[in-house]
Every structure is written in C-alpha cells, then in structure tokens.
C-alpha cells in the first residue's frame, strides 16, 4: 500500500534560534500559525481525498521545532492527531525538531500521544558549519538526542543539508558517515537555498556566500545517496519541493532549486555505473542499456545528457531501450556482451569507486 502523508506545518514555532538559512514561513508557504482547529481542518480535508482503507496514512508536523513548543500547545496539536491514530484511521504520527530539544520528559509526552517517527534537523555534524550556520547546538547534542530517540523506541530520521556556510563535499560525506553510526531508519538531504529575508541572503548579497550550482549539488548528493543507501538508511527525500513561494526569482534568491533533484541524482548514479562498465574510454563500439518504463527517464538523463555524455567519452553508438524488467534492475550490453544488474549491485560498486 502507498503511504499518504498529511502535512501540518508549524513554521518557526518553538525555534530558539534564527538559523542563517531559515525563513520557515517562506519555505513552507505557511504564513499563519497553526492551531488545533486548523490542524483538524487540514486532516479532514486530506482524508476526504485519500482512500484510507488502501493506504498507510500518516500525520506529519513539519517545520519549526515541535518539541520546543510550549507543552500545552504541543498537547493540543498532538491530541488532534492522536484521535485519528486511536481510531485506526492513521498509522503514524511524525514530527521534526531540533537535537537540543530532546530529553526523556519530552519523549514521554510524545509517546503518550502516539508519536512514532521523530526527525532531527541535524544539517551538519561539522563544528565550523554548525557555528557559521548559527544552529545553536553541537554535534554532541545530535548524538545524545539520536541515542535517546532510539532508546525510547521511536523511528529515527536525520536531515542533512549540503552547501551551508563553511561546508565542503568532504564535510558532507563525513556527516553522512556519522549518520550511519547513529543507525537512523531514514534520512533527508536538502540543498541550501538562499531565501529572502534571511541572514544568508545578506551574506550572499555581500559576496560572502556562494550558493552551490545544480551540477555541484548532484555530484555531492550522488555520493551521499550511495553511502547512506548502502548502509541501509532509507533516503526518503532529496531536495525541496518547489511551490508558488519557493521558486527562483520569487522567494529563492539563489541555490540549486530543481523540481526533480532526486531524479537528477539517481540518473547520474546510473550514468557513472554504465561508464564504469566500459572496458576503457574510447574502445566500445556499441552501448545498449535496457530498463523498465519507470527508469527510462533516469537512464536517458535530463535533456538526454547521459546519452550525450556516453557518446562523448566512448565514441560509441548509444541506445537506451525500454524493456519488461524489474524497476530495481537494468541491463547493459557493450559490444554484444550483456549483463543484468540490480540497483543494490550498482550502489555497492559505486561506493567502491566513489570512496
């Protein structure tokens, strides 16, 4: 069954710090603060469009730092979600929060109302990056919070941002490796966007911060996805979903905003694997790649970039063809020699190549 998420945004509520990149009301598109009554209306509206009997339904509180909200307000919001969980209409209640807003007392409250998934907005585990991003917490806070969340039996999610002030590709990789040691069940990867009315926008305007380009972001994220997936971490999202508010030239001043960033990343992974399968650059005469209908756009690449690239490095005839095969497998035929590989093999081989 498909998972259906009912999102309730609590922009900037509970945040003790204004992080350098953050304007939650712009990022979420939510200009007004949520109430228990409005949360109820959001849930009802979404349920009217969901086949709940044939779906796994989840209520998710996104934005802000949920566990830093005043306790009475937490309870009022959670009570609404909890009623639907107790009635068997929803399966999970998810929320996101800061690492330094987690302790036993807060977790006891969340358990009381049936919360099952807690995502920590970690962003980085590099001290310099955390400091320059005005996060207001340390890497030690993250390790302690993650351990406590798992100890209490919640599903742990960790969020990572690439391209923060002071960040480098290697620091992102180091953060991902530390994520793996904390054994989260899921992760999200977000590129840093320069949003209007933030401290980061001022740095950008002064020439003190340069946003990542799309190509740089793809190159970093492909390694993070391979690394985390190979360790059994489910990367449930790469990139922000563009909205009317979050669009280039509107609220986004600069940064790698793309409506299909994950597909671009996965497409690059396929391209790298196909390239690694070549005997050597310039020697292949024909390259034929077969995949399911679902995977064809990833194999071909954005604006056919994978085909163009493979032709440029091999001088070969390159063909991508749809075939009846599993979504988690591709077939590569080079000069008549064909082999079928599954995605886990692709990731395993690329982890060896990348690292």
Q: What is the fold of 2-259?
A: TIM Barrel (3.20.20)
The pLDDT-based confidence of 23 (bands split at 50, 70, 90) is confident
In which band, very low, low, confident or very high, does the pLDDT at 315 lie, cut at 50, 70 and 90? confident
* Phi, psi (deg, nearest 5) at residue 17: -130, 150
Which of 65 and 352 is assigned the larger pLDDT?
A: 352
> Angle between the 71-86 and 36-47 helix axes, to the nearest 10 degrees?
30
How confident is the model at residue 12, as a pLDDT? 60
Q: How far apart are CA 221 and CA 256, in angstroms?
A: 12
Predicted TM-score of the model (pTM): 0.93
Q: CA-based angle 66:160:194, to the nearest 5? A: 90
| pLDDT score of 29 more than 50 | no
Give the DSSP letter of residue 3: E
- Using pLDDT thresholds of 50, 70 and 90, give the confidence band for residue 248: low
Residue 42 makes CB contacts below 8 A (sequence gap 6+) with: 6, 7, 8
**Residue 299: predicted pLDDT:** 98
* Domain limits, CATH 3.40.30, in the chain: 271-354
Answer whether CATH 3.30.1490 is correct for domain 271-354. no
Spell 194-214 as b/e; 16+ CB within 10 A means b: bbeebbbbebbeeeebebbee
Cα(24)–Cα(19) distance, integer angstroms: 10
pLDDT at 282: 60
Q: How far apart are CA 123 and CA 22, in angstroms?
A: 12
Share of the chain above pLDDT 70, in %: 92
Dist. CA 192–CA 204, nearest whole Å: 12
In the chain, ranges of CATH 3.20.20.70 domains? 2-259
The answer to whether residue 131 scores a pLDDT higher than 70 is yes
Phi, psi for residue 226 in degrees, rounded to 5: -65, -45
pLDDT value at 281 more than 60: yes
CA distance 35 to 261: 33
258-279 mean pLDDT: 96
Examine the pLDDT at 127 and tell me if it is beyond 70.
yes
What values do phi and psi take at 94, rounded to 5? -120, 150
Residue 168's Cβ-count burial label (10 Å; 0-12, 13-18, 19+) is: middle
pLDDT of residue 280 exceeding 90: no
State the Cα–Cα distance between residues 292 and 32, nearest whole angstrom.
Answer: 44
pLDDT over 90 percentage in the chain: 81
CA distance 73 to 67: 10
User: Does 25 have pLDDT greater than 60?
Assistant: no
Cβ neighbours of 340 (radius 10 Å): 14
Nearest to 96 by CA among 121, 125, 123, 122: 121
């Amino acid at each position: 069954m498909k998972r259906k998420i009912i999102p309730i945004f609590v922009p900037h509520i509970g945040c003790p710090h204004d992080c350098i990149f953050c304007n939650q009301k712009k990022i979420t598109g939510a200009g007004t603060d949520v109430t228990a009554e409005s949360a109820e209306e959001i849930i009802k509206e979404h349920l009217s469009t969901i086949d709940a009997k044939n779906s796994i339904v989840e209520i998710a509180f996104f934005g802000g730092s949920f566990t830093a909200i005043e306790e009475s307000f937490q309870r009022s919001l959670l009570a609404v979600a909890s009623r639907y969980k107790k009635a068997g209409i929803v399966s999970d209640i998810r929320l996101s929060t800061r690492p330094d807003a987690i302790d036993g007392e807060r977790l006891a409250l969340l358990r009381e109302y049936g919360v099952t998934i807690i995502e920590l907005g970690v962003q980085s585990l590099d001290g310099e990056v955390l400091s320059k991003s005005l996060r207001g917490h340390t890497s030690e806070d993250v390790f302690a919070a993650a351990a406590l969340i798992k100890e209490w039996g919640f599903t742990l999610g960790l969020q990572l941002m690439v391209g923060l002030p002071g960040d480098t590709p290697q620091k992102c990789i180091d953060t991902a490796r530390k994520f793996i040691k904390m054994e989260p069940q899921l992760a999200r990867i977000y590129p840093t966007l320069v949003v209007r009315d933030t401290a980061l926008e001022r740095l950008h305007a002064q020439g003190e911060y340069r946003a990542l380009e799309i190509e740089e972001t793809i190159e970093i994220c492909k390694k993070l996805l391979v690394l985390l997936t190979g360790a059994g971490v489910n990367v449930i999202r790469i990139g922000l979903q563009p909205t009317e508010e979050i669009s280039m030239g509107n609220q986004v001043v600069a940064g790698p905003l793309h409506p299909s960033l994950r597909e671009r990343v996965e497409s690059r992974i396929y391209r790298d694997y196909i390239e690694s399968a070549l005997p050597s650059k310039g020697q292949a005469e024909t390259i034929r790649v077969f995949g399911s209908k679902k995977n064809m756009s990833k194999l071909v690449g954005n604006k056919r970039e994978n085909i163009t690239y493979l032709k440029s490095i091999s001088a070969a005839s390159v063909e991508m063809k749809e075939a009846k095969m599993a979504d988690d497998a591709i077939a590569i035929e080079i000069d008549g020699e064909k082999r079928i590989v599954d995605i886990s093999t692709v990731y395993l081989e690329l982890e060896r190549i990348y690292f």
